[in-house]
Amino acid sequence: MEARRLAYLEAMGLEVLALRGAPSEAALAPVAAETTAVAASPTAVQVPVEVPAPAAVRAPAATPAAVPSAPKPLAQVPKRSPHPAGQLAWEPLAAAVAGCERCGMCVGRTQAVFGMGARRARWMVIGEAPGVDEDRDGDPCAGKAGELLTAMLRACGVQRDDVFLTNVLKCRPEDNREPEAAEVAECLPYLLNQMALVQPELVICLGRAPAQYLLGTDLPLAKLRGQVHHLQSPAVPVVVTYHPTYLLRAPQDKRKAWEDLQLAMAQVPPLPAEREG
């Protein structure tokens, strides 16, 4: 098992930074000890089945003009009709997402990207929105970024199918632009419904934007990383790390991403998911 994990870490590009200079067992021993302690503890709090309405999401503070990259805060957006998401089961929820036309992003999409993975997973991994590859393939994290994410999860001892992977936005914003507050407000109920069904014990946010949407904050990524946050509804811990797309452009930060994953493993070990049927 150790040799296999080292191979996965090398696939992440961490063979020099994370592995050399000390025996691999020693490097991973603190995390293993924490993981064993957590695994022996009672199961984490289950996510309530009831999904709060979009209005229950705390609006983040207005973004200062000096930080133009931060997403616009959530706003109360008039709805043309009641939102279909709430306490839907998997199949009706997937159908609602596939046929959703509640905002303008539906016009330019190839398909809505619902999400994939274990329907009862300990980890739920959330990005911001589909890109070109994801819109084409229907995969929440496809292409080279998807390959890197797979390697990152394998380094934690699980396969991609052991987590549930999705995005806040289910359609690709045209030209990969930043989503509008109204678009986030329309898609967020779908995500909350997914969370109620998956009942994760830990959420990993890939990048600044999904963390800001879920936590109701305008803090930058540098201040969101390195600590465990908590959602109030559903009650679940959150760890924030870099999106694999960013890590492909900035491989020097892969070591920091591995530190984030170690923090996540110390909170909730990502054991293989229970399979339905």
* CB-based contacts of 270, cutoff 8 Å, min separation 6: 122, 123, 153, 156, 157, 158, 162, 163, 202, 264
Q: Which of 166, 167, 169, 173 is nearest to 109 (CA)?
A: 173
Q: Is the pLDDT of residue 29 over 50?
A: no
What whole-number distance in Å separates Cα of residue 219 and Cα of residue 61?
A: 10
The pTM of the full predicted model, rounded to 2 decimals, is: 0.73
Q: pLDDT for 48-76, tens place per residue?
A: 434 444 434 344 444 444 433 444 444 34
Residue 23: pLDDT over 50 = no
Amino acid type, 114: F
pLDDT surpasses 50 at 143: yes
DSSP string for 165-208: EEES-SSPPGGGPPPPHHHHHHHHHHHHHHHHHH--SEEEEESH
Q: Please check the confidence at residue 9 and state whether its pLDDT lies above 60.
A: no
pLDDT at 275: 57
Confidence of residue 80 (pLDDT cuts 50, 70, 90): low
pLDDT reading at 17 higher than 60: no
pLDDT of residue 2: 58
pLDDT, mean of residues 265-275: 83
Enumerate domains of the chain plus CATH numbers: 2-267 (3.40.470.10)
Angle at 3 between CA 262 and CA 42, to 5 degrees: 40
Q: Which amino acid is at 186?
A: E
Q: Predicted confidence band at 274 (pLDDT cuts at 50, 70, 90)?
A: low
